[in-house]
Structure 1
Amino acid sequence: MKHADFRGRLRPTALAAALCSAGLCWPLAASADEPAGPMSVVVVSGTRAEQASFDLPAAIDVVDASQIRDTQPRVNASEALVAVPGLVARDRQNYAQDLQISSRGFGARSAFGVRGVRLVADGIPATMPDGQGQAATFNLDMAERIEVLRGPFSTLYGNHSGGVVQLFTRDPKGPPAVEASFAAGSDGLRKTDVNAAGRSGGVGYLLDASRFETDGYRDHSAATREQAYAKLVVEPSGTSRLVITASGLRQDDTQDPLGVTWATWQADPRAGEIDSTDTQTPRRTFAERYDTRKSIDHQQAGLTWESRFGPDRLQLTAWGGNRRVIQYQSFSRAFQAPASHSGGVIDFDRDFYGVDGNWRMVREIGGGVLRATLGLEFARSRDARQGFENFVGNSFGVKGRLRRDEKNEVESLDPYAQLEWERGPWVLTGGLRHSRVKFDVTDNYLSNGNDSGGVDYRHTTPLVGVLYKVSPTLNVYASAARGFETPTLNEAFYSGTGGGFNFRLAPAIGKHLEAGVKAMLLEKVRVNAALFQVRTSDELVVDASSGGRTSYRNASATLRRGAEVSLDADLGAGWNARMAMSALHAVYDEAFGAVREGSRLPGVPKTSFYGELGWKEAAGRFGAALETIANSRVYAEDTNTATPAPGYGIVNLRAQASQQLGGWKLRQFARLNNVFDRDYVGSVIVGETNRRYYEAAPGRNWILGVSAQYQFN
């Protein structure tokens, strides 16, 4: 039996003083039909209550419904998040591994899914208590907005390092309406969506179902995804509100193309890596030989009750669900020989649930206004996990002998508090969150030894911030916080290249500093700018990665320094412009092993840029835009000796149209991505042991979409 205990350096004198978590507040941000001005955009992230983003002392950006829905197939959150500074959202062209999202360099090392960035949908965490999340569970078809919070304020959301991405679906309103949409594009892309919404009296409903199919740009990357979503809003009185949501995601036998070497990518960006050990079928790729694939079945439900008592508010949230995954990886028979190895087929069944309650009060104190939030969040996940060999005899890609059988439990308990005092031009903010994350492993497969044990991580996260309103159109702010990030279950599953659960991993501890400016220029130009620094000790880095299995270790200190600038401008006569720029110096601040001091963190571009110039006819019937996206080169491993993925710049074009015919509203859009057909590496698999780091992005590709909505009188 193994046990370890890691405790944060800062311990609270009273646990009751450490009490705020994500909540579902009544959305007041601009909807697609009623766009707000740049200064009046209201957000929930940061203070857990409605507040103008212009007056929040934090780096936060909002992606509205038009950016998410109007000219996109609404398959991947990266479609909309590409325009957010400080955030890198990469479509890996691999639906078996989901998106690769990093914020200020945190999360770039993730072999699959999202970690280092906390995901929330309608107030319900889409991130498990261990810190691993799946952006594929976001329902983009019904999205009203996405809020992206970065920097010190995000640390008050608990176990993560880089930021918070919150999606809010639209609230049902008006008479009943039904809508159907269809999109088609390159590489067999097909997306069908049907939804219905309406409101009568104090009850509103929203129903949505979609099916997405693709043959895939890369060899062996076909996928089918089915999603369903339901939302019920009940307002029994003018001061109370109940929101119930339910969602489902299903992907059967989603193909995994794996990464390729530099030579293979140069020869053919679409191609998979040839398995030279395959004597039965020469020129067959690893993905084909082992039929690498993943099946996902995910369902969850949640409810939020909110009552207002004058300026005060009580909010209670509960959620629960199940996630079932079967994944076939590419391990050779020879590599599976060690008794400690757990096989090339992962099969787990996860139940998860949680509750969050918080009380917010507003009082006049000291000549100013004090807003205080006290709360408690509890979350738990339980996995029945097995591993099997991925061969039987000479047949590969089939479930063979049992090699792993265990129960994994993760539990988090986080009390939190946040205070905000505003007087005149000053806004002072303070917060505290005490996080405890427990891992317990019960090993039922004992022929290779008993890997049962547990580990207990504890840390207190403090935050301080100040904002000064220089004028009605200029705010300056500064903030500081300490954050922490535990290893996820998947990062702790393997020790080195063949060992069992890694109980020795310590959490990464970060010290965050940020200063920024928010300004309105010429009444129609909004500029947000931020400078930041994060020093992290015990950074988690890739130890070994092969065929879909990755093990991790604690490295030395790291340093992240950077700048972010975003600009939104109304140029008049229907013209508008948007720009997002990021510069990030992310390095190892101390040498370790073969990694020299000053080596760049892998998976992180030094600079990134998004620019857009758009036009829309006064009545909104027609519109078009030119987009440009650029990123600098990205290293694929810690020593920076492997060929980095080169920097690139691409140009996209889009156009849209709409018509109103009685009760019918018709929409059409067209996109042409990568107009100049550039070959580039869209993402890298950090630290892949066989140097198969590179994942190609598509060349020139197109998408066409149509929708028809009918609203009953």
Structure 2
Amino acid sequence: MKHAHFPLNAMAALFAISSGAIAAEPAAEPVDVVVISATRVGHTVFDMPASIDVIDAERIREGQARINASEALAAVPGLVAQNRQNYAQDLQISSRGFGARSAFGVRGVRLIADGIPASMPDGQGQAATFNLDMAERIEVLRGPFSTIYGNHSGGVIQLFTREGDGAPSIETSLTAGSYGSRKADLNAQGKQAGIGYVLDASRFETDGYRAHSAATRDQAYAKLTLAPFDNAKLTITANALRQDDTQDALGTSWATYQRDPRAGEIDAADTQNPKRTLADRYNTRKSIDHQQIGANWEQRFGDDRLRITAYGGNRSVIQYQAFSKAFQAPATHSGGVVDFDRDFYGTDLNWLHVSQLAGGKLSTTIGLEYGRSSDDRKGYENFIGSQFGVKGALRRDENDKVTNLDPYIQAEWETGAWLLSAGLRHSSVKISVDDHFLGNGNDSGSLDYSHTTPVLGLLYKLAPSLNVYASAARGFETPTLNELFYSGAGGGFNFRLQPAQSTHVEAGVKARIGGDTRINAALFQVRTRDELVVDSSSGGRTSYRNAGRTLRQGVELSLDSTWQYGISTRVALTTLRAVYDQGFGTVLKGSRLPGVPNANAYGELAWKDSAGRFGAALEAVGSSKIYAEDANADQPAPGYGVLNARVTANQHWQGWRFKQFARLNNLLDKQYVGSLIVGDTNKRYYEAAPARNWLLGVSAQHQF
């Protein structure tokens, strides 16, 4: 077996290039992007008292397949975004350790697309609904100001798509790569009669790197923008995602991973077929059908602004899990097939008022956010007789409702070199269960969670090119529906879970060196009580419990530079000490939080010719070891470091624009664990990352 090691030499070289005394020619100062994620008042990233990174369209689109948000998010400090090589379970995303324990989907990090939540009222979100083909930028907010978004806001990731403008154009792109991966995308955009439009449709298919991990994903997206009145703007977005019978590879034990990283776990209970895997025996898979539509109305009255957002949609899921027949014996068990149909909708209404106060500018936003989801949820046995992986007898039938009602206020006062920002949000989350299947007891009941989250930030401009800031906040995380569904190894709905409450503090510095180098650095600490941790996890079913106190302390650093001859560099470094500050059960004080590396890094050395026709880049990605369970007793996923390379080219001919790219990932062919299933009862924690792999892409755009 080849062990992966952190690429110290590669990282050191990239860092030296970024920070060394290379005599660069004067470069034009890059334009700062105005962001709204932290204070809801537009500012450049440089002038925000918060840790926030902006990923632009070039980083999202150029040289990427635009299949997973993790492709672009790798360059953000403080954020860990892992492609699990399992499209049945979505990405694994954590911000400063929040969300690392998620068994599937994204929790602990708030997802928003074009102002429309991609996270449900309980905090569970799906990054797969993001449309990366039409993305204009992604804003990644970390630290205290994340909490102003309420429940499950350990971080905020906002996607903004492009708006239709100019003459009509149509574009098609094709990509193909290792393991049978291929994607086709077709889009059109333009603006006519004052109406901007964007239309996009794509299909992605893969045979999968890991055994039993094939997937097909169809996505569609539409966006209309118009200005029906003076100083008014209406934006309508709609998106759809469909994945039929997406195979679920499950996790593997350490022994299986060492033997063959691509292999599935053998089903030891299947004595008649000693080589058959659990995934094959139960045909573990998931089908997803998601549709959503939303509208945003913005009306300006001088400096004041009214914004109204409304959305609604439906999500249907059927999932076949890997439970053995023996494990389904308890009367309380809800079966190995999850089948639910969800309707959801919500609205956000806010008013921005700008006035003068004490010689400075005061901007005050008052708002109210409401969200509701209703699940018609059923569970079935996943066998009939001796046949597994089929829908059997009914074992669960209930209706689950989650609502949130959050009034909030944010105020920002700016005068001279000072900027003071403060906010207050009161979140009320209500969860109710109406159980219709009483053969295993009545799980009907309700839970009410509420919490007030204040935030305060202060920024001081020491010089035109140097800002310092400090911020603090309180935050909270309720259990998601998925975390409430089971209690212990075979129990029903878990009404005992309490929300986790946290206190965040941060201090940082933002600097410009000349016109071509930017540095952002942040020092932070988060104390949490009643942290939600995995109680047991097996075959795709996970139950949770409250632990004691946890402590997160860390440093984030990002450094961007441009040099002569078209060379640019980026470095993003994170160190994070995330530990249990109080022991519980067999877990000792000081044990590391599972799923959270104590260091990760990204480095990039890129080149582009002066005409912008050709480009190339070398990327380095590294992570320290990661523990898989609370006691830190089992084999952790070893640290790793990988190198990736990409080249791009584009040409213009009359009204046409052609682009090509080639990407080679894991250049040195390292074998490493890319992600973990935290707390798996059977110790099948490990999800292998791909060996050396390639990707090619071409596109053609015609503007009429």
Match of residue 18 from structure 1: none
* Aligned residue among 606, 611, 614 for 2:606: 614
Deviations 1:518-572 (A, max 9, x none): 0001221000000000000000000000000000000000000000000111112
> What does 1:221-620 correspond to in 2, within 5 Å?
221-620=213-612
Q: Distance in 1 between matches of 2:564 and 2:548?
A: 51
The equivalent of 2:24 in structure 1 is: none
* Count of aligned pairs: 678
Superposition deviation, residue 37 in structure 1: 5.0
Which residue of the partner structure matches residue 58 of structure 2?
A: 66
In 1, are the aligned partners of 2:28 and 2:515 still within 8 Å (CA)? no
Residue 191 of structure 2 is matched in structure 1 by: 199
Q: Please state how far the C-alpha of 1:44 moved relative to its aligned partner.
A: 1.5
Counterpart residue number, 1:3:
none
Greater Cα shift, 278-287 or 402-411: 278-287
Select which of 200, 208, 212 maps to 1:216.
208
CA distance in 2, matches of 1:477, 1:504: 39
| Counterpart in the other structure of 1:630 | 622
Moved more, 664-673 or 517-526: 517-526
Give the match's secondary structure for 1:115.
Answer: coil
C-alpha distance in structure 1 between counterparts of 2:221 and 2:38, whole Å? 26
Question: 2:106 matched to 1:114?
Answer: yes
Distance of aligned partners of 1:590 and 1:39 in 2 relative to their CA distance in 1, 3 Å threshold: farther
Partner of 2:19: none
SS of residue matched to 1:335: helix
2-structure distance, mates of 1:469, 1:172: 37
The one-letter amino acid of 2:627's match is Y
CA–CA distance in structure 1, aligned partners of residues 202 and 562 of structure 2 = 34
Secondary structure (helix, strand or coil) at the match of 2:483 reads: helix
How far apart, CA to CA, are the structure 1 residues paired with 2:676 and 2:555? 23
Q: What is the CA deviation profile of residues 183-222 of structure 1, one whole-angstrom value per residue up to 9, with x for unaligned ones?
A: 0000000000000000024210000000000000000000
CA displacement 1:329-353 (0-9 Å, x = unmatched) = 0000000000000000000000000
Aligned with residue 105 of structure 1, among 97, 122, 144: 97
8 Å CA contact retained: 2:136, 2:160: yes
Cα 1:253–1:494, aligned 2, differ >3 Å: closer, same or farther?
same
TM-score, with normalisation over the residues of structure 2?
A: 0.96
RMSD of aligned Cα (Å): 0.9
Q: Is the 8 A contact 2:572 2:601 kept in 1?
A: yes
What secondary structure is seen at the aligned counterpart in 1 of 2:476? strand
Assess, with a 3 A threshold, how the Cα gap between structure 1 residues 329 and 122 changes in structure 2: closer, same or farther. same
1:116: Cα distance to partner? 0.2
1:281 and 1:181 map into 2 onto residues whose CA distance is 44
SS at 1:265 equivalent: helix
Compare 44-53 and 533-542 and name the one that shifted more: 44-53
User: Is this contact kept in 2: 1:177–1:710, CA < 8 A?
Assistant: yes
How far has the Cα of 1:238 moved from its partner? 4.1
State the one-letter code of the partner of 1:321: G
Secondary structure, in 3 states, of the residue corresponding to 2:58? Answer: helix
Task: Answer yes or no: is 1:163 the counterpart of 2:155.
Answer: yes
Q: Which residue, 659, 664, 676 being the options, matches 2:651?
A: 659
SS in structure 2 opposite 1:695? strand
Which residue number corresponds to residue 132 of structure 1? 124
Instruction: Measure how far apart 1:321 and its partner are.
Output: 0.1
Distance 1:439 1:350 in 2: 14
Q: Which residue of 1 aligns with 2:16?
A: none
8 Å contact kept, 1:143–1:170: yes
CA–CA distance in structure 2, aligned partners of residues 591 and 389 of structure 1 = 37
Q: Deviations over 1:655-687 (max 9, x none)?
A: 000000000000000000000000000000000
2:693 to 701, 708, 713: 701
Aligned counterparts of 1:681 and 1:566: Cα–Cα separation in 2:
25
C-alpha separation in 2, matches of 1:40 and 1:672:
31
Find the aligned partners of 1:36 and 1:482 in 2 and give their Cα distance: 40
199-208 vs 188-197, greater mean Cα deviation: 199-208
Which of 47, 62, 65 is 2:39 aligned to?
47
1:76 aligns to 2:91 (yes or no): no
2:85 is aligned with what amino acid? Q
Distance 1:690 1:233, change over 3 A: same
What's the offset of the Cα at 1:430? 0.7
**Structure 2 CA distance for aligned equivalents of residues 620 and 325 of structure 1:** 44
Equivalent residues of 1:161, 1:510 under 8 A apart: no
Task: Please tell me whether residue 142 in structure 1 is matched to residue 134 in structure 2.
Answer: yes
After the TM superposition, which segments of 4 or more aligned residues of structure 1 sit over 4 Å from their partners? 35-39
2:502 is aligned with what amino acid? G
Q: What is the CA–CA distance in structure 2 between the aligned matches of 1:351 and 1:685, rounded to whole Å?
A: 29
Identity of aligned residues (%): 69
- CA distance, structure 2, for counterparts of residue 606 and residue 296 of structure 1: 34
Aligned-pair distance for 1:38? 4.4
Q: Offset of 1:406 from its aligned partner?
A: 0.3
* 1:424, distance to aligned residue in structure 2 (A): 0.6
Deviation at 1:50, TM superposition (A): 2.0
CA deviation map 1:218-243 (0-9, x unaligned): 00000000000000001124410000
Gaps of at least 5 residues in structure 2 are 1-26
Deviations 1:133-157 (A, max 9, x none): 0000000000000000000000000
Deviation at 1:49, TM superposition (A): 3.1
Secondary structure of the corresponding residue to residue 573 of structure 1 = helix
Q: Secondary structure at the match of 1:690?
A: coil
- TM-score if structure 1 supplies the norm length? 0.94
Query: Partner of 1:154: helix, strand, or coil?
Result: helix
The whole-number CA distance in structure 2 between the counterparts of 1:373 and 1:542 is 38
Q: Which residue number in structure 2 is paired with residue 5 of structure 1?
A: none
Distance 1:346 1:322 in 2: 16
Once the two structures are overlaid, the 10-residue window that deviates more, 87-96 or 194-203, is: 194-203
TM superposition shift of 1:39 = 5.8
**1:380–1:409: 8 Å Cα contact kept in structure 2?**
yes
Alpha-carbon displacement from aligned partner over 1:384-420 (angstroms, at most 9, x marks no partner)? 0000000000000000000000000000000000000
Counterpart Cα distance in 2 of 1:441 and 1:340: 16
Q: Deviations over 1:296-336 (max 9, x none)?
A: 00000000000000000000000000000000000000000
Q: Distance in 1 between matches of 2:430 and 2:605?
A: 49
How far 1:42 sits from its partner (Å)?
A: 1.1
Contact 2:92-2:105 within 8 A present in 1 as well: yes
Separation in structure 2 between the aligned mates of residue 355 and residue 202 of structure 1, nearest angstrom: 26
In the alignment, what sits opposite 2:683? 691
- The alpha-carbon deviation at position 280 of structure 1 amounts to 2.7
Pairing 1:87-98 to 2, within 5 Å after superposition: 87-98=79-90
Alignment partner of 1:620: what SS? coil
> How far apart are the structure 1 equivalents of 2:411 and 2:702?
46
